[in-house]
Amino acid sequence: MSNPLKYSTSTPTGALRHDTLGAGVASIQYDSTFNSGATPSILTSYYLIYEPVNGTAVRIYAPANAAELIKLAQSKGSSETTEAGALTWLSDNGYYPANKVLDNIVTDDLVLFIDSSTLTSYPGSGTDILDLSGTGADWTIPSDVFNSTTGVFNYASDQSSKSPPSAWQSTTDLTVEVLYKPNTGGIYTGCCDTIFGRYDFRFFQIGASLYAMIGFDDGNGTRVYQHPAYTVSYDRWHHVLAIRRDNRYIIWIDGVEKYNTTYGTGLSLWDPSETYYLSSTRHTSVDFAACRVYTKGLSDSEILQNYYQGPIVTNGLIRALDFSNLLSYQYNVPYNATGYDLTGNDTFDLFNAPTFTTNFGGGMICEETDEFIALDDVTATDYVSVECWYTKDSEGAGEDIVWNKESCWELNDNNGDLSWALMASNQSWFWYDTGVNIAIGETAHFVLTYDGNYVRFYKNGVLESTYTYPSGGVLANQTSCYPKLNSRNCTRTTVQNPGNHTFYQFRIYDRALTDAEVGQNYNANVKKYT
């Protein structure tokens, strides 16, 4: 699948848009006016080029290399002779180059969305960033701020600015959101180094302290404001939001609410026509991946949807890995052997150098030689759900482990036949053949749940098998065994029975998900992975 596409001069519900291309991102059924797109990651081409056509059609071109891309652009009227020039020309003339499926973010009341990770927003060269919100609020940036190696905007004593269109100028509820990384030594230690926003609704930073500032009109023409501060880590990506919602001022950092207080009841936000800034002139090195503005205060669930890049279930979530999310794995820099659990509970380690792939936005290729992924130990819980998006790359020699927490839960692959193992505290280690298969080259979503009585196994959101566990009971308390992908064995650094798999997302819950919740998680990312 891909983002459904349609020609449109207004933004369809649940879609992002620039100019005349609407691209559906939500977990909804789109009507017949949308066309099926193509998934860039599964084609032999390195880019897709979308051409909106008046009516309902959208043409899709799949150049296989730079020469074909240049030829395509020239056939449409370009005189460019380089890859970068061709991409930029196509983008500037209503054609939309795509290198990924757009993430399932909140689109209601979105008035600005610029994103360095998708060619649809920034083609990789030039000074124009295309706004994907549908309001047409494109930005101009300095010519030297895009880092082609990392694929993000890097500001060093530079800044970009935008006078907000009327659509942005809310005097009541507002959300400012940014995905950024402060680099070591890159933050000014004096006051006040703007990260993103307008003067009276922005983030600024002094050293390692991030401030979220809000200003109100007290009703007599006097500005009143506050700016609580929080410590953030250098050299790591952060997702931060400042929110005015229902007369409350709310701050979220990295998926956690940090501040929530009544402030400005009955008062208007100060001067909504203020210029917005991306960065300031005092930075030595700050990276930006995405910035968004909403003319509403995002709800808690909407904040988490943007943080996890899809509206997944978060109740009971205790581990979450996502190789397409910079907040979980910094795929845009030289090889990292460590990543971050999105719940904030853990880091994870890559052993014996598995290979990162850009397929489907990002995944980790683990080969059966000795490559695997290990998390810190998960606190023993009564019940569990284990969830994974992965590809079976090739057949291994014998039994291939998909996921494992030894003597607690496991999923293995034997010539494409999937079996699980589970151990309750009052039972022995028990194996069950699910009757479910995965083919070589297939990418699929699997979930195993245990609620004390039943073990349920799902493929692509559908319940495939149910096993009644004899006598039931809570999970065995195996606190010394580490959760792993592509390996079993309690010892964190030891590999055993690896397979040939590419892993994209992996999650653990301390409860059994319902059928509806499994379906929700599948639908949250199905456009990206299948």
Write out pLDDT tens, residues 58-74. Answer: 888 999 899 999 999 99
Provide mean pLDDT across the span 151-165.
Answer: 90
Residue 131 reports pLDDT greater than 60: yes
Residue 122 reports pLDDT greater than 80: yes
Provide mean pLDDT across the span 441-464.
Answer: 96
Write the CATH number for 383.
2.60.120.200
Residue 19 region by backbone torsions, left for phi larger than 0, else alpha for psi between -120 and 50, else beta: left
Q: Which of 84-98, 183-197, 404-418 has the highest mean pLDDT?
A: 404-418
The answer to whether residues 421 and 521 belong to one domain is: yes
Which of 102, 132, 148 is at the close of a domain? Answer: 102
Q: In Å, how far are 22, 52, 78, 117, 118 from 90, measured between CA atoms?
A: 17, 12, 8, 17, 14
Q: How far apart are CA 353 and CA 366, in angstroms?
A: 8
Using alpha carbons only, give the angle 191, 196, 198 rounded to the nearest 5 degrees.
Answer: 80
Q: What is the mean pLDDT of the chain?
A: 91
The answer to whether residues 291 and 363 belong to one domain is: no
> What pLDDT is attached to residue 43?
61
The answer to whether residues 405 and 354 belong to one domain is: yes
The answer to whether residues 134 and 49 belong to one domain is: no
Rg (CA), the chain: 24
Residue 39 reports pLDDT greater than 90: no
The two structure tokens encoding residue 489: 């064995």
In this prediction, residue 190 has a pLDDT band, given cuts at 50, 70 and 90, of confident
Quick: pLDDT tens for 331-353: 988 788 999 999 998 899 999 99
Residue 83: CB partners within 8 Å, gap ≥ 6? 66, 69, 70
The answer to whether residues 471 and 441 belong to one domain is: yes
Residue 34 near residue 24 (C-beta atoms within 8 A): yes
Q: Which residue range forms the structural domain that includes residue 485?
A: 317-529
Provide mean pLDDT across the span 78-88.
Answer: 93
The answer to whether residues 91 and 132 belong to one domain is: no
Provide mean pLDDT across the span 357-380.
Answer: 90
Residue 500 reports pLDDT greater than 60: yes
Provide mean pLDDT across the span 191-203.
Answer: 91
The two structure tokens encoding residue 357: 């792939």
**Helical residues (DSSP H) of 76-123, grouped into ranges:** 83-92
Tell me the whole-structure pTM to 2 decimals: 0.95
Which of 67, 84, 102 is at the close of a domain? Answer: 102
> What pLDDT is attached to residue 520?
97
Dihedral over Cα of 382, 383, 388, 392: its sign: positive
Place of tokens 């507002």: 174
The answer to whether residues 379 and 230 belong to one domain is: no
Taking alpha carbons only, the member of 281, 101, 113 closest to residue 187 is: 281
Residue 446 reports pLDDT greater than 60: yes
The answer to whether residues 327 and 389 belong to one domain is: yes
Provide mean pLDDT across the span 390-401.
Answer: 91
Which of 32, 67, 102 is at the close of a domain? Answer: 102
The answer to whether residues 246 and 386 belong to one domain is: no
> What pLDDT is attached to residue 47?
82
> What pLDDT is attached to residue 291?
96
In this prediction, residue 56 has a pLDDT band, given cuts at 50, 70 and 90, of low
The answer to whether residues 290 and 362 belong to one domain is: no
The answer to whether residues 135 and 278 belong to one domain is: yes
Residue 329 reports pLDDT greater than 70: yes
Greatest alpha-carbon pair distance for the chain in Å reads: 76
Q: How far apart are CA 322 and CA 310, in angstroms?
A: 11
Query: Between helices 66-75 and 83-92, what is the axis angle to 10°?
Result: 40
In this prediction, residue 222 has a pLDDT band, given cuts at 50, 70 and 90, of confident
> What pLDDT is attached to residue 352?
96
For every residue of 442-505, DSSP letters joined together read -EEEEEEEE-SSEEEEEETTEEEEEEE-TT--PBP--TT---EES---SSTT---S--EEEEEE
In this prediction, residue 188 has a pLDDT band, given cuts at 50, 70 and 90, of confident
The answer to whether residues 458 and 484 belong to one domain is: yes
Residue 44 reports pLDDT greater than 70: no
Q: How far apart are CA 488 and CA 374, in angstroms?
A: 10
Number of domains observed in the structure of the chain: 3
